[in-house]
Amino acid sequence: MNRVNKKRATDTTEQTTGSAEGTQSNPGQANPRNTRVNTAAIPLAPYEVEGGAAIPLAQRCPEKTISRRSFVAAGTGAAVLAGTGCLGLSTLHQAHAADKAAAEASQLPGPLMRHSLCGACSNQCGFTAYIVDGKLTKLVGDKANPGGAGKLCARGYGYATIASSPDRLTHPLKRNLDGSFSQITWTQAYSEISEKLMSLIDVQGAEAVALMHSLHPSVSFYGRRFMAALGSPNVYAYDPPGNLSRNSGFAQVFGADTFLADIAHARLVMFVGGDPAEAVLPATLSAMQSARKSGGRIVVVDPRLTTSAIFADEWLPINPGTELAFLLSMAHVLVRLNRYDQDFIAQHTVGFEEWAEKLSQYTPQWAEEITGIPAETISRLAGEFAEKAPASVIDSAWRGVYGCAYQNSGETGRVIALFNTLLGNWNQKGGALLYPRATFGQLDATVFPVPTATGERVGDADYPLVWEEAGSSAFAIQAAREGRISAMLFYGSNVVAECPNPDYLTEALDKLDLSVVIDVQMSETAQLAHYVLPDTSYLERLEVPEIVPGKKPTVTLRDKVLDTVYEDTRPVDEIFSELARACNVGAYFTFSVEELADAQLKTVGLDLAALQAVGSAQYEGAPFAYGSLPDIATPTGKFQFSSEACVQAGYPASPEWLPPRVMPTGDRLRLIGGEQALCASTVTIDNPDLMEVIKKYRLTYPWIHATVAQRLGIKDGDEIELTSDIHSGRTRVHVTQAINPTALYLPSYYGCSVKELKEAYNVGLRQMDFVPLHLEMGYGAAMTQEVLVTIKKVGA
Amino acid sequence: MARYGMLIDTRSCVGCYACLIACRRQNGLSPELSFIRFEHRERGSYPAVFQEVIPLQCMQCAAAPCVLVCPTEASYFGPDGLVGIDHGKCIGCKYCMVACPYQLRTFNEELGVADKCRFCAIQTLVGGKGCTCVEACLTNARVIGDLDDPNSEIVSLIESKNALPIAGDLTQANIFYVR
Amino acid sequence: MSTFEPVWGPLIAGYLFLAGLGAGAFVFAFLLQKSAPHAFKIRRFAHILSPIAVVCGLVLLLIDATGALHNPLKLILLFSNDQSVMTWGVYFLIVFLIISVTVMVIDLKKNYLIPRFLSVLGVILSFCVALYTGVLLGVCNTFPLWNNALLPPFFLMSALSAGGASLLLYGALFAPEELSEVAALKKLQLPLAVIELLFLAALLIITSHNSSAGAASIAMLVAGTWSPWFWIGLVLCGLLLPIIADARSLIFSAKAHTESAALRYTDIGINVLALGGGFLLRFLIVMAAVPLAIAT
């Protein structure tokens, strides 16, 4: 599989296989695709005005018949009457029987149930959709889905209205000279785009063409295949600035992009940044609760008190950007006291001696100065880790504070992996788990011929440590500005609003000879494109299946839940196949997505119909067992305390203290960002349900510490002006005790500047406006928190 | 006859709003309607800070002021300990909204009537786990059940966790909070 | 963080005010029957005003109650709940309307002899209506600004004062010749306004000591969002200026009022202010009420 392994591997052994509604998950047995259910078994929302009105209300609420009828007669209308008049449960038992009778009498079809994957973020939780009269009436999380574990978050419920959103892109658009767009036909779009692509490739070679795509299953297959067919190696997996440093740093230690902390069984787990309640990871949250129940301790290291810290025993409000110093000194304590797993290190690692020697300088006292965390706390925690090892672990922290934040983030990733190595907790119960790699088998090359692109992706030479399956999106944009890339295709990657310095990015995109954006709604990036192609929403298309590694691997599937709402929109597989045909490489796209999905699934003993019936299914892949390690895909085949590649990229062989690029002083605070439960990227912000809550609870407000506020004469709710070297903006502010005084927290993805997105337009500030674009040496990440800001009260 | 109640463990609530948005989606409510309101509390001082989120929704009070003040009997005590609003009777005078000590009623502009959490009663009937908010809660901080059934999960949890109504015996509320 | 937005606003304040005004006017009409038997015009105006003011108030209530606009037949249900203060109010208002309309019709037929039992019954109901406007808010036990025994008598005093002011305003505008006849009514305005001021002071002091929500309500009035309206609108224009003017006018004879244009215009102005103060009082009480925090 030529695909980014972006899904967080998840522990699935404790989850029963089966859908939320108890459908048996038996992959071998082909169930009918659209499980139609008797109305009687379907919970009708008490107020279901549209769907439910078909059933006589009087029958629903026998006790209330008289008063209701009288009001119907009085012309109140059924809508008003479909109320809680019938709240009582015992009443409802009668009503239930009446419903059933009525449904049978009128032969009303029950809701259609279909399984699919959420599209609100890249965690892609599985759910069952209930559809009545072609409308989505209800979503229920699928328990068999490893990431969602039977739950959906607020975004998942809210974003489900995207299919019928009035703010969607509905037709292919071509940009005019004055920046406005004109509607064109798909035929025109394909022919003009392909013509331009072909002529650019003729002149500059396929290396001048690039694709940046968000992490959805189908585009990862079709988009990459399309680029390979054109002969271009330039594919960049785009995740709103997320885990690039972390993944790349991890890869230097153990050759894979991430591991899974066995939180549920850990006796001590530490989160260094990352909040599973804000970058919502239902399975992780559930594991945190399990850990607590069984007496495990949880420590949160974050400049801001995270929401999931409610489950933590300790919050260490570290000075942002100094996590590396904290971790180095913890490692120092383990090594100094000889409290590390010497057998494991002897057998499975290289370079320990060199690092151990370096560590001697990183005493807890040294770290206290830098991090603000007391030396005794550091010593105590390190001791506790050693005592509880191997059932103690530092979590991999999805988009944690070291995801791609500072110039030391890649190195921080290395040290986290190395600290776990000192504990010898790899694949130990309660430790750090590396699941066996799980992929689909080879497809029949006569039906699915494989195109190959030669050459090196632009940026890989400049940033040799970059996680190879992702590539440096930020560098691709720089390359566009420098003219090394002259045509770019974007699939749902709103890089202009989500990467540092939108002004710079805008300039870079303006330099492109051809830019095409495929998306569901207009975006900051799409506004700059020459062509904008309307995608179907995640609810309106079948995608290729995906494998989530685990104790047993699980296959998940995004299925078509609703019929296409806007006729002129097309699914991603169709767009790339048709574009390929227009570019004369259609030979690689002679199959339908159904055929492809079915063929992929057959390689793991499943088929499409069977998977559609259950949504998520486990299969027998490479076995996982506690105590056994998979192959370590580093050059040495071992866990690497020292890395030759790092030396080549200009880093020390084993990690050392590297201060952030800038450090807060006085009233210059570090601007830190983050996801929120209601806003994980710009994808979901244009949503009336979510925006109402965001505004009501002031979720766009930045946080500052109470002492800072007092010093500057700022009160909670005051309007402030926020200024960095490159940008300035006004907002109201939240004053709190729950943040490190050297930090200012601004939720990352507000401040939408697209007028067409009526809900989101101009709400809040955009973090990236304030951040200059510099790339992390070697790792190529965007360093989103290397910026200082000052604030002052407006009018003061 | 049952007496339905809910337990909300604020020590497990991460304030993610999933219950609120799920409630809207599954009950087909417009974005202007919220049956759940959140109160946020911050205690202590840096670095020993504690943040508490308290989700509030119609408490299904046994001594409900809304029912008492409603001039048209649109607000009523239904069976099974639930407080209902008959939209066919409601004239939208908002007296109940003013009288609710917790301010947990909201105005449904579309229908011109008062509205509130319905405890998703019908779902419970057909064998669902109960309220949408209970099902949706990411951290299972909510439990719904029969307060009159001494063997129910909710009764034993209320006892073991010493859960109390948010305002003592003010209205004999049927939602119990662990704080 | 808790942001409370008042459920009720100016419409309900208007309803409370107009119901009180109508009741107050009726009471004064009754008083004038004895004390100013020849002030026909003013008395007739009072008889016309009382039902009309109450009806206007009810219209405001209905505009606020959008559910009723969807289906007016629902209003029959207003009589359903005998425990609801609003239901009592509806009964009071209906009976009051029946009596006051009857009285109005009798008066309009140039029959100056209003049956005594009708007048007395009407006065009793006037008191009920005026007190009800305070009780309506008073039973909402989470609002310290409302939930106290001062509010109903306070609203009653204000209702009487507003009723009196409306009659005096009419007199000054359209029946100056009768003004000397109604001097007794005019003399009542001063003590009413002083009592109101005392009630207001008591309400402020007691409520601010009641609870933090009570203190927050009072703070909103005297130093917060509503303070300009409170000090300039209600205290100065609505109460102090009328008190000063009423006190001053005691010095001049009633005859002087009839003859001096300046005094007449002052009268007009003062009564307009007093009426404005009456509305502002309800409005501020409705808007500034902060509920007891539900969770601390």
Question: How many angstroms separate the CA of residue C158 from the nearest CA in chain A?
Answer: 38
- 144-163 of B, contacting A, C-beta below 8 A: none
Check B98 against C7: CB less than 8 A apart. Answer: yes
- Give dist(CA B130, CA B117) in Å, integer: 13
Check B113 against A84: CB less than 8 A apart. Answer: no
- 250-309 of A, contacting B, C-beta below 8 A: 277-278, 280, 282, 285-286, 289, 305, 307-309
Check B120 against A46: CB less than 8 A apart. Answer: yes
% of chain A exceeding 70 in pLDDT: 86
Task: Report yes or no: A538 and A556 within 8 Å, Cβ to Cβ.
Answer: no
Peptide bond into B47 cis (omega under 30): yes
CATH architecture label of A669-793: Beta Barrel (2.40)
For residue A18, pLDDT over 60 is answered with: no
Check if A154 contacts B (Cβ < 8 Å): yes
What pLDDT, in 10s, does the model give residues C237-256?
999 999 998 888 777 665 66
ipTM of this complex: 0.96
**Mutate which of A71, A696, A735 to disrupt the C interface (most C C-beta within 10 Å)?**
A71
What residues of chain B lie within 8 A of the CB of C291, using their CB? 101, 103
Element containing residue A350 per DSSP (H, E): strand A349-350
Check if C70 contacts B (Cβ < 8 Å): yes
Task: Report yes or no: B166 and B173 within 8 Å, Cβ to Cβ.
Answer: yes
Residue C4 placed within a domain: no
Alpha helices per DSSP H over A405-519: 409-423, 473-482, 495-498, 502-510
What residues of chain A lie within 8 A of the CB of C74, using their CB? 71, 74, 76
For residue C38, pLDDT over 50 is answered with: yes
Closest C-alpha among A297, A396, A380, A395 to residue A339: A380
Closest C-alpha among A392, A415, A153 to residue A280: A153
Question: How many angstroms separate the CA of residue A222 from the nearest CA in chain C?
Answer: 48
Nearest CA in chain A to C71: A76
What residues of chain B lie within 8 A of the CB of A312, using their CB? none
- Give dist(CA A427, CA A393) in Å, integer: 11
What pLDDT, in 10s, does the model give residues A738-772?
999 999 999 999 999 999 999 999 999 999 999 99
What pLDDT, in 10s, does the model give residues A649-704?
999 999 999 999 999 998 999 999 999 999 989 999 999 999 999 999 999 999 99
Candidates A74, A77, A697; nearest CB to C73: A74
What residues of chain C lie within 8 A of the CB of A80, using their CB? 67, 70-71
Check B69 against C86: CB less than 8 A apart. Answer: yes
Q: What fold does the segment set A35-163 form as a domain?
A: N-terminal domain of TfIIb (2.20.25)
Residues making up chain A, counted from first to last: 796
CATH, range A173-242+443-618: 3.40.50.740
Check if C4 contacts B (Cβ < 8 Å): yes
Check A90 against B21: CB less than 8 A apart. Answer: no
Question: How many angstroms separate the CA of residue C73 from the nearest CA in chain A?
Answer: 7
Check if A711 contacts C (Cβ < 8 Å): no
* B145 half-sphere exposure, CB direction, 13 A CA radius: 17
Which chains are within 8 Å of C by 3+ CB pairs? A, B
Question: How many angstroms separate the CA of residue A673 from the nearest CA in chain C?
Answer: 22
Domain range for C223: 10-287
Check if C187 contacts A (Cβ < 8 Å): no
* pLDDT average, residue stretch A705-712: 97
Task: Report yes or no: A35 and A23 within 8 Å, Cβ to Cβ.
Answer: yes
Residue type, C251: I
Instruction: Look at chain B and report how many structural domains it folds into.
Output: 1
- Burial (CB count <10 Å: 0-12, 13-18, 19+), residue A490: buried
Q: Sorting pLDDT into bands at 50, 70 and 90, what band is C141?
A: confident
Check C74 against A71: CB less than 8 A apart. Answer: yes
- Give dist(CA A9, CA A27) in Å, integer: 21
What residues of chain B lie within 8 A of the CB of A135, using their CB? none
Check if B2 contacts C (Cβ < 8 Å): no
For residue A546, pLDDT over 60 is answered with: yes
Give the list of residues 6+ apart from residue A280 with CB closer than 8 angstroms, or none.
Answer: A121, A123, A153, A154, A155, A677, A680, B16, B138
> Dmax over Cα atoms in chain B, in whole Å?
53
Distance of CA A431 to the CA centre of its chain: 24
How big is the B-C interface in CB pairs under 8 Å?
Answer: 111
Which string of b and e fits A21-60 if b means at least 16 CB within 10 Å?
bebebebeeebeeebeeebeebbbbbbbbebbeebebbbb
Nearest CA in chain C to A73: C73
For residue A67, pLDDT over 70 is answered with: no
For residue A78, pLDDT over 50 is answered with: no
**Mutate which of B51, B54, B77, B91 to disrupt the C interface (most C C-beta within 10 Å)?**
B91
C-alpha distances (whole Å) from B46 to each of A685, A724, B49 are 32, 26, 6
Instruction: Look at chain C and report how many structural domains it folds into.
Output: 1
What pLDDT, in 10s, does the model give residues A131-182?
998 899 889 999 999 999 999 999 999 999 999 999 999 999 999 999 999 9
Give the list of residues 6+ apart from residue B3 with CB closer than 8 angstroms, or none.
Answer: B80, B81, B146, B147, B148, B174
**N-to-C CA span, chain B:** 29
- Give dist(CA A760, CA A3) in Å, integer: 32
What CATH number is given to the structural domain containing C247? Answer: 1.20.1630.10
Antiparallel, parallel or unpaired: β A719-723 and A514-519: unpaired
Task: Report yes or no: B138 and B20 within 8 Å, Cβ to Cβ.
Answer: no
Question: How many angstroms separate the CA of residue C289 from the nearest CA in chain A?
Answer: 21
Task: Report yes or no: A279 and A399 within 8 Å, Cβ to Cβ.
Answer: yes
* pLDDT average, residue stretch A406-431: 97
- 50-79 of B, contacting C, C-beta below 8 A: 54, 56, 65, 68-74
Check if B87 contacts A (Cβ < 8 Å): yes
Residue ranges of E strands in A146-279: 173-175, 181-183, 209-214, 235-238, 260-261, 268-272
* pLDDT average, residue stretch C23-45: 91
Would you state the pLDDT for residue A621? 86
- Burial (CB count <10 Å: 0-12, 13-18, 19+), residue A346: exposed
C-alpha distances (whole Å) from A777 to each of A245, A656, A681 are 10, 15, 25
* pLDDT average, residue stretch A370-382: 98
What pLDDT, in 10s, does the model give residues C258-272?
567 777 788 899 999
Candidates A43, A80, A689; nearest CB to B128: A43
What pLDDT, in 10s, does the model give residues A446-505?
999 999 888 899 999 999 999 988 999 999 999 999 999 999 999 999 999 999 999 999
Check if A152 contacts B (Cβ < 8 Å): yes
Would you state the pLDDT for residue A43? 31
Domain(s) of CATH 2.20.25.90: residues in chain A: 35-163
Mean pLDDT of chain A: 87
Helix (H, G, I), strand (E, B) or coil at C207: helix
> Taking the model in full, what pTM does it have?
0.88
- Give dist(CA C139, CA A453) in Å, integer: 78
Mean pLDDT is highest, among A32-41, A68-77, B103-112, for B103-112
Per the model's pLDDT, the better-predicted residue between A592 and C188 turns out to be A592
- Give dist(CA A397, CA A404) in Å, integer: 12
Candidates B65, B71, B88; nearest CB to C78: B71
What CATH number is given to the structural domain containing B88? Answer: 3.30.70.20
For residue B58, pLDDT over 80 is answered with: yes
Distance of CA C250 to the CA centre of its chain: 24
Nearest CA in chain C to A74: C73
Residue C208 placed within a domain: yes
Task: Report yes or no: B163 and B7 within 8 Å, Cβ to Cβ.
Answer: yes
Closest C-alpha among A494, A527, A498, A579 to residue A213: A494
DSSP for A64-115?
GHHHHHHHHHTT--HHHHSSGGG--HHHHHHHHHHHHHHHHHHTPPPPEEEE
Task: Report yes or no: B172 and B61 within 8 Å, Cβ to Cβ.
Answer: yes
Which chains are within 8 Å of B by 3+ CB pairs? A, C
**Weakest-pLDDT range from A33-47, A291-305, A341-355:** A33-47
DSSP for A239-271?
-TT-SHHHHHHHHHHHSSS--EE-GGG-SEEEE
Q: What region does A717 belong to: left with phi over 0, alpha with psi -120 to 50, or beta?
A: left
CATH class of A260-433: alpha beta
Q: Sorting pLDDT into bands at 50, 70 and 90, what band is C1?
A: very low
Q: Sorting pLDDT into bands at 50, 70 and 90, what band is B129?
A: low
What residues of chain A lie within 8 A of the CB of B49, using their CB? 305, 315, 736-738
CA dihedral of C279, C282, C284, C286, whole degrees rounded to 10: -140
For residue B126, pLDDT over 60 is answered with: no
Would you state the pLDDT for residue C254? 58
For residue B8, pLDDT over 90 is answered with: yes
Residue C295 placed within a domain: no
Nearest CA in chain C to B109: C66
Question: What's A123's DSSP letter?
Answer: T
Per the model's pLDDT, the better-predicted residue between C65 and B38 turns out to be B38
Question: How many angstroms separate the CA of residue B170 from the nearest CA in chain A?
Answer: 23
What residues of chain B lie within 8 A of the CB of A125, using their CB? none
Would you state the pLDDT for residue C154? 97
C153: how many CB neighbours lie within 10 A of its CB?
14
Check B73 against C74: CB less than 8 A apart. Answer: no
* pLDDT average, residue stretch A70-84: 30
Question: How many angstroms separate the CA of residue A308 from the nearest CA in chain B?
Answer: 6
Check B89 against C84: CB less than 8 A apart. Answer: no
- 196-225 of C, contacting B, C-beta below 8 A: none
Check if C68 contacts B (Cβ < 8 Å): yes
For residue A69, pLDDT over 60 is answered with: no
